[in-house]
Amino acid sequence: MHKRSKLKNGARVITIPMRSTKTVTVLVIIGTGSKNENEKNRGISHFLEHMFFKGTKKRPTKLDISKELDSVGGSFNAFTGKEQTGFYAKVGSKHCDLALDVISDMLLNSKFTAEDIESERGTVIEELNMFLDNPIMRIPFLFEEILYQNYSMGWDIGGTKKTINSARRKDFINYYKKYYTGDNIVIAVAGNFNEKTIENKINQYFGLINKTKSKRQIKAYDKQDKPNILLKHKKTDQTHLCLGVRGYNETHKDRYILNILGIILGGNMSSRLYMSVVEKGIAYYIYTSLENYKNVGYLAAQTGVNNKKCLDAIKIIIDEYKKAREEKISSEEIKRAKDYLKGKMTIALESSDSVAGFAANQEIATRKILTLEEKFAKIDAVTAEGLQRVARDIFVNNKLNLALIGPFKDKKKFEKILRF
């Protein structure tokens, strides 16, 4: 059972004791990401994430930071998304104080020197190059680009080479002051810790977080009146594509129905799309992904196929979408999807890092934490009628989008088949 509290600076605290484990995870999530950037500072959220690892007053270099957690076998990292940035450390239970100390030191005392920014600039650009060269990694971001057009929600998290090269220390400081504030931060500690002292320790390490209010969050664009296509021409042996539709935001009443629909369509190796595409030798992989952001969302199928079979794959995906819209899904198939989702959630929550993420992600997104049992109840409430109703709502022409990387320049052949 989790416990929620708040520091004087406004930071929300979640503690989740787990007596069955010998580890502790300290996870801090900040409610900001690339969505809150502008044309001049694109990529600053991710670049700043890198800078927190470059050194503090107490730990002057990256080595000083990493060797402390490495020396106890800890795992630690960070991540940047469209709406969230996170930092975590997972250690053996007896090293809980060390994890709290290192993560808080990074977030509160990083130096952001001009020299460190310059040295990290090359690393960030090489990461961007890796991303741009990898169609499997890049195609979901192109799909979001076509969904959200020229708004920040559609930009690559990594930014551009131009904006990365132009970033200066003042840009990092300004962004940090805007969004790394108490009211925009969630601190989660999960695992085997001393329940009597943990809240005092969290206050001790994180009590100096800036308590000013964070700046207003930018909203995403979500309007469309016809199918959209985005082609990125690239000489490849395989075409990678995302084909999907606009969906629901993170608080929408039908998001659990959409989740089950996504599993039925492409959530596992017994899903409809897997059997229709992979098992018939058209592709090596295919899966359905769902995103539920603050005020927008989507469902999309991603696959990589032989260039000559690209149109065939698109037709199959559209046919499966149409079938879900036109025919009720059997109770057996619905039960398999529900059991799959509940099983995956149960297995994931055996580890302290997953438990911390389960609670912190809900808190930062909705300020409400549902238990596993409460989520299961919502999953169990999904019906065949609800699935068909949602399918009829989302699988329509004016919500349909295709992003594609491959040796194609002409949209016309895709426009002919991109319709329900």
Beta-carbon count within 10 A of 225 CB: 8
Closest CA to 171 of 39, 261, 276, 74: 39
Same domain, 186 and 131: yes
Q: Indicate whether 299 belongs to any domain.
A: yes
Domain count of the fold of the chain: 2
* Residues taking part in catalysis: 49
pLDDT band at 327 (very low <50, low <70, confident <90, very high): very high
What range defines the domain where residue 54 resides? Answer: 3-206
Specify the pLDDT at position 49: 98
Specify the pLDDT at position 48: 98
Closest CA to 404 of 418, 389, 419: 418
Same domain, 300 and 381: yes
Same domain, 90 and 163: yes
Same domain, 308 and 352: yes
Q: Indicate whether 216 belongs to any domain.
A: no
Q: Indicate whether 319 belongs to any domain.
A: yes
Same domain, 39 and 186: yes
Order of strands, edge to edge, in the sheet holding 12-17? 3-6, 12-17, 185-191, 23-30, 85-92, 75-80
Q: Indicate whether 217 belongs to any domain.
A: no
Q: Indicate whether 221 belongs to any domain.
A: no
Q: Indicate whether 219 belongs to any domain.
A: no
Same domain, 304 and 157: no
Q: Dump pLDDT digits (tens) for 196-216.
A: 999 999 999 999 999 888 877
Task: Classify 53 as helix, strand or coil.
Answer: coil
pLDDT band at 219 (very low <50, low <70, confident <90, very high): confident
Task: Classify 393 as helix, strand or coil.
Answer: helix
Same domain, 202 and 275: no
Q: Dump pLDDT digits (tens) for 175-190.
A: 999 999 999 999 999 9
Q: Dump pLDDT digits (tens) for 39-88.
A: 999 999 999 999 999 999 999 999 999 999 999 999 999 999 999 999 99
Measured over the CA atoms of residue 76, residue 144, residue 294 and residue 344, the dihedral's sign is negative
Q: Dump pLDDT digits (tens) for 137-168.
A: 999 999 999 999 889 999 999 999 999 999 99
Same domain, 46 and 183: yes
Specify the pLDDT at position 329: 98
pTM score, two decimals? 0.95
Taking all residues of the chain, what is their mean pLDDT, rounded to a whole number? 96
Q: Last residue of some domain: 176, 206, 236?
A: 206
- Using the predicted structure, report yes or no on whether residue 232 has a pLDDT greater than 80: yes
Residue that the structure tokens 């195609």 belong to = 139
**CATH number, residue 111:** 3.30.830.10
Specify the pLDDT at position 221: 73
- Using the predicted structure, report yes or no on whether residue 5 has a pLDDT greater than 90: yes
Same domain, 174 and 284: no
Pure H helices in 114-217: 114-133, 135-148, 161-166, 169-179, 198-206
Q: Dump pLDDT digits (tens) for 363-420.
A: 999 999 999 999 999 999 999 999 999 999 999 999 999 999 999 999 999 999 999 9
Specify the pLDDT at position 179: 96
Q: Indicate whether 223 belongs to any domain.
A: no
Q: Indicate whether 211 belongs to any domain.
A: no
